[in-house]
Structure 1
Amino acid sequence: MEKRTVRFLFCALSFTPLVAFAQKEPRTKLTKPNIVFILADDLGWTDLGVMGSDYYETPNIDRLAAEGLLFDNAYAAAANSAPSRACMMTGMYTPRHGVYTVSPPDRGDRRLRKLIPIANTDDVRADFVTMAEALRQQGYRCGHIGKWHLGDDADGTGPLSQGFIWNVGGNRAGSPYSYFYPYCLPDKSKCHLGLEKGTPGEYLTDRLTDEAVSFIKSHKDAPFFLHLSHHAVHTALQAPASVVDKYKNKPVGKYHTNPVYAAMIEKLDDGVGKICRAIQEMGIEENTIIIFYSDNGGSEPVTDNYPLHGGKGTPYEGGSRVPLIIKWPGKIPAGTRTSVPVIGVDFYPTFVHLAKGETSGNPDGRDIFEVVKNKETERDLFWHFPAYLESYLNGGKDFRARPYSSIRSGDWKLIYNYEDKSMELYNLKEDLGETRNMAGLNPQKKEELYNKLMKWIDDTHAPVPTEPNPYYQGIK
């Protein structure tokens, strides 16, 4: 239910062409909004104070929500990192770009995998037009800071090859080499590029925030797109000792109890506050959209996603339902909250429409502002995962996800399992925790969603696993 009526008053956005990369880019009159996209890694739906946590402290993010629009039904387009980010960058669901999982697709005990999974693509292909490339065509200066996980610049698939003119730390790595300077593996075999200079004890989340503020200051006189992609709060669990001690001395919450994870969230929140203050001090607040989002749900070994079922990597709400806040002073009324479902593929068309660009080659997403304004609560959302992802528990002898496709349509969600062709049907309005499978009790709704899902599979030419695994032993 909407707490307040949402009205969006968009100004006319003019087209300004971008010169070649090697040339100095011209100053552009600020008729287009700056876009600051702050992306957390593995932050769960309830890991914020504003979303109900009674242990983690997020005053700056909570303030951002109070000053903007808070989403109750925002989703990642995949339940783990690389495919989710590929969906955001391309505006396309997984069958179109082929990044289904964090490679390889045949993870877990091979004796327990009934099917041969579909081959996975590790990187976003250079021929796809990313949101950064589309925004550059409209005069935006695009900067990437932090985790990329979709390729390397040396291979033509990193940020500088995908529309960004500024890349600090972005490469193929899916997790931080270290959260403390020098940000390398212990043997120094791998380090995050662009972060070579620093001070002992410097913390990665703080450093990425400082790099983001530097980018904003350097580009505030022309429309810019900042993709600040934090490694926090992805494992390894590392945080400054003084902040960890604070939470060790604090009573634990009902569901949230991990002091190191809490400290990592606090540092992430500190960074959001610093960026918001910098934008205000530079006098560009009214012409800057700030988005805060997570790439997938919380990781179950380190946080509790209650009341949601499952966590990162699973087909359930805990794997894909995530926090989302959008602030745009003067355009989005403060203190607004919406239950309209949106998903990661929607950012591409939203940003490009703000810049008056074209999204014809990226057909899956919708402009978030239009979806919310029109209260499109019955919209269909899709997920496709033709792979295997081992469990965090039991030494890999169980799975967080086996091959599946799923659809959310209105209040209903259907999960189709490829191994045994079984289906799970949940009414999320009445059963947010997905505890009651209604597939046998409501065959009409099951058939309706199944037909919609199969049509989407056909329309996107989604590859589905059918080949039996010769090593399968049927061990349960």
Structure 2
Amino acid sequence: MNIAPCFRNKGLLSISLVLLLFLSATLTFGQSEKPNIIYILSDDQSWTDYGFMGHPHIETPNIDQLAEDGLTFTRGYVTAPLCSPSLASIITGLYPYQHGITGNDPEFTFEKPRYQTDWQTARSRLYKDYLDEFQKHPTVPQLLKKLGYVSFQSGKWWGGHWKEGGFTDGMTHGDPTRGGRHGDEGLKIGREGMDPIFDFMDKAIADKDPFFVWYAPFLPHSPHTPPDSLLNKYLPKAPTKSIAAYWAMCEWLDITVGQLLDKVEKEGLTENTLVVFVTDNGWIQDPDRPNRYAPGSKQDPQDMGIRTPIIYKWPGKITPRMDTEHLTSSIDMAVTTLEAVGLEPLPEMQGINVLDRKALANRKKIYSMDFSHDMVAVDQPEKTLESRMVISGSWKLIAPGPANPNNEEMQLYDILKDPMETNNLANEYPKVVKKLVASLDSWWPGEGNSN
């Protein structure tokens, strides 16, 4: 009796079963490895104001640990030194001149005080043109939704209702008659606990959905009203009460970051969660005026206005490393996130995947821009352009724009030797200025909207 065919058939069956099991395991592994994503966005904090960045007094142990566990870029920058355009760039992967949000509010005359209900309503009507332009561009949560992600908005948000940003859940209603402008109910997160995020996470975990969290607390943003225990801790260390209050706010932010990361750890999600940390713009606390910033920080093109550490943590996928050399930008966050989950970045996104070492090494320049606080024309961003900035190696050029209030001259700094930008070298290195201006002009000449 010839039994070879029987064995051959059984062999084929065994191979088929092995292949099916392998494919099943591969698919299951792929699904389980689809990372949860958390963006942590500090609000109004200098790049120097963390323990791991060398601040002598501010204690940020949780963010320090995040930096130790992640790929941390100390030479990170945002696209603008103002929160609304900066955050819009983070969520879209586009520069302000592309997405249309160049300031916080439309410019208009109103006889009643700014920020009152009537003003908010009038602002909302004028802001619609800018919001419409912004909403032409897909956001990170909208793109992630294609892969089954659920998403949650909390904290700072200028894009109207959370649904208008492509989130599946959130806190901000955006209704101007109820104070809707830059976060409203969302601004309670962190300051009044973390339960809304935790409730969202619990539901996503129960439903077995990968999730995206936008955690943009109103911290350390003014009003600087830290818990008494934190304020009293810093009063003996700070030169003034205003500075002590700001330092305490930085630690308060850190405490909430710890609470969020502890939740991730408690739920067993640490290994499958990509955490990204950045600040929206810088801040120098005025020593004598509470809740006020000093010149050269927020709304200004100096590094104290646009520089920030940027951290990417994903255990087992991202090797922890403190990168003090390579330039990176918040414009990279969308591209890096999309490629991490297997999605192609949109063609108009100018960032790079910072996990690609070759792309990182090949990058020679990054850019930023500074506009007026108030916007005058969604299709003509150059009307409020105050400065364009380019950083290349150790050089940083600040080129004045048509709306620069002081009509300043070119500013060139060696920011590795002069990080506080005290010595303008433009007259000493005209060839460097010329080369960097040409780079700026090839990137965006500051003329018209190049969507």
TM bucket, shorter chain: 0.7 to 0.9
Q: Distance in 2 between matches of 1:190 and 1:319?
A: 20
Corresponding residue to 2:212 among 204, 208, 225: 225
The 5 A counterparts of 1:129-144 are 129-144=138-153
The 5 A counterparts of 1:195-210 are 204-207=189-192, 209-210=194-195
Q: Distance in 2 between matches of 1:239 and 1:275?
A: 19
The 5 A counterparts of 1:352-431 are 352-370=338-356, 372=357, 374-376=359-361, 378-387=363-372, 403-419=386-402, 420=407, 422-431=409-418
Name the larger-Rg structure: 2
Structure 2 match to 1:454: 441
Q: Does 2:326 correspond to 1:324?
A: no
Q: Which has the higher contact order (CA 8 A, sep 6+)?
A: 1
Q: Distance in 2 between matches of 1:447 and 1:194?
A: 45
Deviations 1:81-109 (A, max 9, x none): 001011111111111122112224699xx
Once the two structures are TM-superposed, the CA of residue 232 in structure 1 deviates from its matched residue by 0.8
SS for the counterpart of 2:198 is helix
Q: Distance in 1 between matches of 2:82 and 2:183?
A: 23
Once the two structures are TM-superposed, the CA of residue 418 in structure 1 deviates from its matched residue by 3.0
- 1:51 maps to a residue whose letter is M
The 8 Å contact of residues 341 and 377 in structure 1, kept in 2 or not, is answered as no
Structure 2 match to 1:333: 319
SS for the counterpart of 1:83 is helix
- 2:65 maps to a residue whose letter is R
TM-score by length of 2: 0.76
Structure 1 match to 2:419: 432
Structure 1 match to 2:169: 166
The 8 Å contact of residues 388 and 403 in structure 1, kept in 2 or not, is answered as no
Deviations 1:241-288 (A, max 9, x none): 23322322x3237x9972222222222111111111111111111111
Say if 1:193 and 1:387 are closer, same or farther in 2 by CA, change over 3 A: closer
Say if 1:319 and 1:265 are closer, same or farther in 2 by CA, change over 3 A: same
Once the two structures are TM-superposed, the CA of residue 417 in structure 1 deviates from its matched residue by 1.2
The 8 Å contact of residues 78 and 368 in structure 2, kept in 1 or not, is answered as no
The 8 Å contact of residues 242 and 285 in structure 2, kept in 1 or not, is answered as no
Structure 2 match to 1:100: 102
Structure 1 match to 2:258: 273
The 8 Å contact of residues 145 and 170 in structure 1, kept in 2 or not, is answered as no
Say if 1:263 and 1:300 are closer, same or farther in 2 by CA, change over 3 A: closer
Structure 1 match to 2:272: 287
The 8 Å contact of residues 406 and 413 in structure 1, kept in 2 or not, is answered as yes
May I ask how many residue pairs the two structures share in their alignment?
Answer: 387
- 2:78 maps to a residue whose letter is A
SS for the counterpart of 2:245 is helix
Q: Distance in 1 between matches of 2:373 and 2:92?
A: 23
Q: Distance in 2 between matches of 1:386 and 1:286?
A: 40
Corresponding residue to 1:192 among 158, 179, 184: 184
Structure 1 match to 2:281: 296
Say if 1:189 and 1:215 are closer, same or farther in 2 by CA, change over 3 A: closer
Once the two structures are TM-superposed, the CA of residue 39 in structure 1 deviates from its matched residue by 0.7
The 8 Å contact of residues 146 and 230 in structure 1, kept in 2 or not, is answered as yes
TM-score by length of 1: 0.72
Say if 1:303 and 1:69 are closer, same or farther in 2 by CA, change over 3 A: farther
The 8 Å contact of residues 89 and 96 in structure 2, kept in 1 or not, is answered as yes
Q: Distance in 2 between matches of 1:66 and 1:348?
A: 22
The 8 Å contact of residues 285 and 329 in structure 1, kept in 2 or not, is answered as yes
Say if 1:212 and 1:339 are closer, same or farther in 2 by CA, change over 3 A: farther
Unaligned runs of 5+ in 2: 1-26, 110-125, 375-383
Say if 1:415 and 1:190 are closer, same or farther in 2 by CA, change over 3 A: closer
Once the two structures are TM-superposed, the CA of residue 219 in structure 1 deviates from its matched residue by 1.4
The 8 Å contact of residues 174 and 182 in structure 2, kept in 1 or not, is answered as no
Q: Distance in 1 between matches of 2:285 and 2:103?
A: 18
Once the two structures are TM-superposed, the CA of residue 299 in structure 1 deviates from its matched residue by 4.2
Q: Distance in 2 between matches of 1:131 and 1:54?
A: 36
Deviations 1:388-413 (A, max 9, x none): 68xxxxxxxxxxx9722221122211
SS for the counterpart of 1:73 is strand
- 1:381 maps to a residue whose letter is I
Residue identity (%):
29
Q: Distance in 2 between matches of 1:190 and 1:405?
A: 25
Q: Distance in 2 between matches of 1:319 and 1:286?
A: 34
The 8 Å contact of residues 220 and 252 in structure 2, kept in 1 or not, is answered as no
Say if 1:461 and 1:376 are closer, same or farther in 2 by CA, change over 3 A: farther
Unaligned runs of 5+ in 1: 1-15, 17-27, 108-118, 154-158, 174-183, 196-202, 390-400, 465-476
SS for the counterpart of 2:222 is coil
Q: Distance in 2 between matches of 1:378 and 1:190?
A: 34
Q: Distance in 1 between matches of 2:199 and 2:223?
A: 27
Structure 2 match to 1:47: 49
The two structures, once aligned, show a CA RMSD in angstroms of: 3.5
The 8 Å contact of residues 42 and 216 in structure 2, kept in 1 or not, is answered as yes
Deviations 1:440-461 (A, max 9, x none): 1111111111111112224x85
Once the two structures are TM-superposed, the CA of residue 364 in structure 1 deviates from its matched residue by 1.6
Structure 1 match to 2:157: 148
SS for the counterpart of 1:323 is strand
SS for the counterpart of 1:414 is strand
The 8 Å contact of residues 148 and 170 in structure 1, kept in 2 or not, is answered as no
Larger % of helix: which?
A: 2
- 2:49 maps to a residue whose letter is D
